Chains A and B, each alone.
Chain A
Amino acid sequence: MSAALNKALMHAAAKPLVFALALLPFAWLFYGAFTNNLGANPAEHLIRATGDWTLRFLCIVLAVTPLRVISGTPALARFRRMLGLFTYFYVVIHLLSYGWFDMGFDVPEIIKDIIKRPFILVGFSAFLLLTPLAATSFNAAIKKMGAKRWQMLHKLVYLIASLGLLHFFWMRSGKNDFAEVAVYAVILAVLLGWRVRQYMKKKRIQPISTGREQLSK
């Protein structure tokens, strides 16, 4: 079963297919905006939907490694970079939607708004932190940085996910409405918890005498 899945994932069409699927939400929103089909407040809809999709892609990209290991499907690793870049794509659209449709690109107003609404500052920080990850997602960057340093940098994604979740929690706190926030929190907690467990397991297997934490293999 998992061998068949692995083979399917290695198929030449698999990557373009995943790419097209990941682009669907954007295409749908773009079409909705174009045909004026996003409800009574299209600006709000666009900003919220792109934020939702950023969080969803964060969850998806963080699920790749656990799924790969648990299901024994090494081919899943082929999609991780693309999914990570889609996370960045959706956060950029999210930020642009806010800056454009909510604030009319009025920079002094945006700065005032960020000071007034710390949850936006948190979200903006998450975006800033994600930027170097997106910028170093090509092979040459990995080579140049060295795998170890590259991996260290990309561990930032855990902090970014936490900030993204805090941003969403804070946004929803105005309505005391945490049901959806809880769903994302549980998913992210499971995905991060799995990694902590793996780390503990590996630590136990490593001979203690070396005194080194060998995370990379």
Chain B
Amino acid sequence: LPGAKSGVAGAVTMEKVTDYKDSTTYNNFYEFGTDKADPAKNAHTLVTKPWTVAVEGLVKQPKTWAIEDLIKLSAQEERIYRLRCVEGWSMVIPWVGYSLAELIKKVEPLGNAKYVEFITQADPKTMPFVGSRVLDWPYVEALRMDEAMNPLTLLTFGMYGEVLPNQSGAPVRLVVPWKYGFKSGKSIVKIRFTDKEPRTAWNKAAANEYGFYSNVNPDVDHPRWSQATERRIGEDGLFAKKRKTLMFNGYEAQVGQLYAGMDLKKNF
């Protein structure tokens, strides 16, 4: 899945890209198990063809998209983003996709649409750990409309020039680089426009630990660990010191204005 170099500001970091092997064997995708090696082992059972994505809710053009048509909706771009996990590690990944804004413009949200909700696949037949009590299934994530419209928010179909491997959220996922990784839902089947802030999967599981915004923020610690530093997978070796985490994961210039005047300690 080739993608042209993106012209979006901040979309291509010059940092060293994480090895494909590391970024595809160290994953959080609880539908396939909670150990980070599990998804690579178990996700082969996921059936990604045929696949449809229903766009519904407060839009003028609700429609169920076949994945083939969704891929063709806009030109594929390569974006090299930092990925910061809430657990304190990070990677640099070359994604392939296009700005979610392209799809949003196409489906024409109504004036009262304030949020976009992403509902992901939850099929106990192909996802062995759906039904485990870790989370409420299906896994649901959401963004405020202006966050969803930001050009950095990527509707993603590939990585490293290839289609997404199953464990990385095939055939379509979201990537929101200034938020902790869990905000970027994998294997999306439904995109819903709403007027109320949706309850999201981790927020339902532990509201005091995972807020709706979950922006990367070194000054707001997780209740159980510090967020000031991170370990870059594959680069910061066993004996290296961890690196400092950047505000909004280093995308402050692009997204800082979205949160002007907000208390980020309260809206974590």
Contacts and interface: CB of A to CB of B under 8 A. Distances in A.
A33 interface: yes
User: How extensive is the interface on chain B, given as a class?
Assistant: 20 to 34
Interface in B191-238: 205, 209, 221, 224-226, 231, 233-234, 237-238
B169 to A, nearest CB: 17
B238 A42 contact: yes
Nearest to A118: B224
Interface size class of A (residues with CB under 8 A): 10 to 19
Given A42-B238, A113-B225, A175 B26 contact: no
Nearest to A97: B238
B238 A33 contact: yes
Given A40-B26, A41-B231, A174 B238 contact: no
A113 B231 CA distance: 16
A39 interface: yes
A33 B237 CA distance: 10
A148 interface: no
A117 interface: yes
B88 to A, nearest CB: 9
A40 B231 contact: no
B134 interface: yes
Contacts of B221: 116
A82 interface: no
A163 to B, nearest CB: 18
A39 B34 contact: no
B134 A101 contact: no
Interface of B: 21-23, 25-26, 30, 34, 36-37, 89, 133-135, 205, 209, 221, 224-226, 231, 233-234, 237-239, 241-242
- Give the 5 A-B residue pairs with the shortest CB-CB distance, closest first: A40-B26, A40-B22, A176-B134, A177-B34, A40-B233
Given A40-B233, A176-B135, 9 more contacts: A40-B23, A40-B26, A40-B234, A41-B26, A104-B242, A116-B226, A117-B225, A175-B34, A177-B34
